[in-house]
């Protein structure tokens, strides 16, 4: 007998998959049925047994679930890098998430002035709030928002210095993620880079001597993703501002990451703020929304109202602007900064960065038995001290004391085993991202909070090594 004829027809199989069709749709499920039937036919050619109906239906459901699963998935970030670029950087506050949902669910006054009934400006949703937080509500300070800080730098340079020169210290010509470099951004902005000083030392006279009729602005770039130590010299921002203003030029500071709170007061390494930059005499300050600020991906441009107005008139602004959900999340995040006493509890980024190591260690001891049971007898799991990092180019040499679960195989040459462990954790329903170092697999628990602990432990039953 030809066993291929014993395989059920597609329509008959679909009649038993009503639940899967309700979830994924008839088209996707039909494709999965056909694929499984084709695989079964191929198996019969090679002597494999005819699959029973239960196993066939289970395979189809698994295939449909896999095909219907979102590509952008939540993961457990146990890498020890709090603001991990590849894992989406800042976790949003609940207030920001709720604001995004509200903005997405219904029409909202994005560019509609409710007071006058006329057309509004989307930047007004956050411009006044930023002026309040950064400059005490000064009417001379305004802001505009684009999709990230690289865009903020590009737009600022193109609007204020197109066809002219921007003076920058050679030691600040940084390369950011993805091999994007400041000189490349300047070229795209149609601005000529006028670099001054040396890699390790730049002086005030270098700025003064660089100014010529083609100079459009002086610029300082915060080297947030690396540090030069030893025989170094940099010019104070107040001095650069004075040099620029004497020459009638604007002074621009690119902070890269940027935070609105005093990190030192939170027991963290100090990080320059937009408040300090404007107080030092900067005319324009650019920084990110999704790094130390703890909000959505965005580039914030803050400074003199007349310069902001010029920047907003640039055609690139429309190409780089953000949508309603980003602005909703950004506004909600900024409002949290009005209550500094509770900021560390309400803003996930700050909460994770200031988390006590004793708390992390207690958590590690609590989940250790479950992880050891899931790993089995091929390796031992221990709680060990480790160092987390802030990430996303912020404070590159600073480390935060933390605790990790460390998986050490008993075999001497266990590189393949560690790769298997790493892949197994990544394959869990909610993937777990750790790292391999020093012949061991590490799970830094700084970013595993109480609400995620139960889910983390529960899914260990699916770990396959």
Domain map (residue ranges) of the chain: 3-68, 76-85+352-462, 94-344
- Annotate 357-405 with three-state secondary structure: HHHHHHHHHHHHHHHHHHHCCCEEEEEEEEEEECECCECCCCCEEEEEE
**Spatial contact of 202 and 232, defined as CB atoms under 8 Å apart:** no
How far apart are alpha carbons 190 and 174 in whole angstroms?
18
Give, in words, the CATH class of 76-85+352-462.
alpha beta
Going residue by residue through the chain (465 aa), what tens digit of pLDDT does each one get? 455 567 899 999 999 999 999 999 999 999 999 999 999 999 998 888 888 999 999 999 999 999 999 999 999 999 999 999 999 999 999 999 999 999 999 999 999 999 999 999 999 999 999 999 999 999 999 999 999 999 999 999 999 999 999 999 988 887 766 556 888 888 999 999 999 888 788 899 999 999 999 999 999 998 755 566 667 788 899 999 999 999 999 999 999 888 999 998 888 888 899 999 999 999 999 999 999 999 999 999 999 999 999 999 999 999 999 999 999 999 999 999 999 999 999 999 999 999 999 999 999 999 999 999 999 999 999 999 999 999 866 656 578 999 999 999 998 778 899 999 999 999 999 999 999 999 999 999 999 998 999 999 999 999 998
Residue closest to 18 by CA, chosen among 2, 36, 38, 33: 33
Q: CA geometry: angle at 203 spanning 198 and 207, to 5°?
A: 95
Q: Using an 8 Å Cβ cutoff, are 91 and 100 in contact?
A: no
Q: Which two tokens stand for residue 258?
A: 């940027």
The DSSP bridge pattern shows strands 251-256 and 284-288 to be: parallel
Q: How far, in whole angstroms, is CA 203 from its chain's centroid?
A: 35
Q: How far apart are alpha carbons 308 and 127 in whole angstroms?
A: 10
List beta partners, residue 300. 145, 287
Q: What angle do CA 133, 400, 223 make, to 5 degrees?
A: 60
Nearest-angstrom CA–CA distance, 316 and 320: 6
Hey, how many other C-beta atoms are within 10 angstroms of the C-beta on 271? 23
Give the CATH fold of the 94-344 domain.
3.40.640
CB 116 within 8 A of CB 341: no
Element (H, E) at 407: strand 400-409
């Amino acid at each position: 007998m030809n066993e291929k004829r014993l395989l059920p027809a597609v329509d008959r199989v679909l009649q038993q998959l009503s639940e899967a069709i309700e979830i994924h749709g008839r088209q996707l499920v039909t494709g999965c049925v056909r694929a499984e039937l084709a695989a079964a036919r191929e198996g019969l050619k090679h002597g494999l047994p005819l699959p029973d109906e239960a196993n066939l239906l289970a395979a189809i459901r698994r295939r449909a679930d896999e095909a219907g699963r979102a590509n952008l998935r939540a993961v457990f970030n146990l890498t020890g890098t709090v603001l991990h670029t590849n894992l989406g950087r800042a976790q949003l506050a609940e207030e920001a998430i709720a604001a995004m949902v509200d903005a997405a669910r219904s029409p909202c006054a994005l560019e509609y002035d409710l007071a006058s009934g006329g057309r509004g400006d989307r930047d007004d949703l956050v411009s006044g709030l930023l002026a309040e937080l950064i400059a005490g509500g000064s009417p001379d300070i305004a802001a505009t928002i684009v999709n990230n800080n690289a865009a903020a730098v590009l737009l600022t340079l193109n609007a204020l210095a197109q066809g002219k020169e921007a003076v920058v210290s050679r030691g600040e010509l940084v390369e950011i993620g993805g091999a994007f470099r400041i000189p490349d951004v300047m070229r795209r902005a149609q601005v000529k880079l006028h670099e001054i000083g040396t890699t390790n030392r730049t002086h005030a006279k270098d700025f003064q001597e660089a100014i010529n009729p083609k100079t459009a602005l002086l610029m300082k770039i915060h080297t947030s993703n690396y540090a030069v130590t030893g025989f170094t010299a940099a010019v104070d921002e107040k001095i650069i501002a004075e040099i620029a203003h004497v020459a009638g030029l604007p002074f621009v500071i690119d902070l890269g990451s940027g935070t609105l709170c005093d990190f030192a007061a939170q027991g963290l390494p100090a990080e320059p703020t937009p408040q300090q930059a404007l107080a030092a005499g900067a005319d324009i300050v650019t920084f990110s929304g999704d790094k130390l600020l703890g909000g959505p991906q965005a580039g914030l441009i803050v400074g003199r109202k007349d310069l902001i107005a010029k920047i907003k008139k640039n055609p690139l602004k429309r190409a780089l602007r953000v949508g309603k959900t980003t602005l909703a999340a950004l506004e909600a995040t900024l409002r949290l900064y009005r209550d500094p006493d509770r900021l560390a509890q309400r803003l996930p980024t700050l909460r994770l960065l200031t988390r006590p190591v004793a708390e992390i260690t207690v958590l590690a001891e609590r989940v250790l038995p479950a992880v050891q049971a899931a790993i089995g007898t091929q390796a031992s799991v221990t709680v060990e001290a480790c160092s987390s990092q802030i990430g996303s180019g912020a404070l590159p040499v600073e480390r935060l004391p933390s605790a990790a679960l460390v998986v050490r195989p008993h075999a001497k040459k266990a590189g393949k085993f560690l790769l298997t462990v790493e892949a197994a954790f990544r394959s869990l329903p909610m993937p777990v991202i750790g790292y391999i170092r020093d012949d061991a697999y590490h799970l830094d628990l700084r970013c595993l909070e109480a609400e995620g602990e139960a889910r983390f432990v529960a899914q260990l039953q699916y770990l396959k090594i």
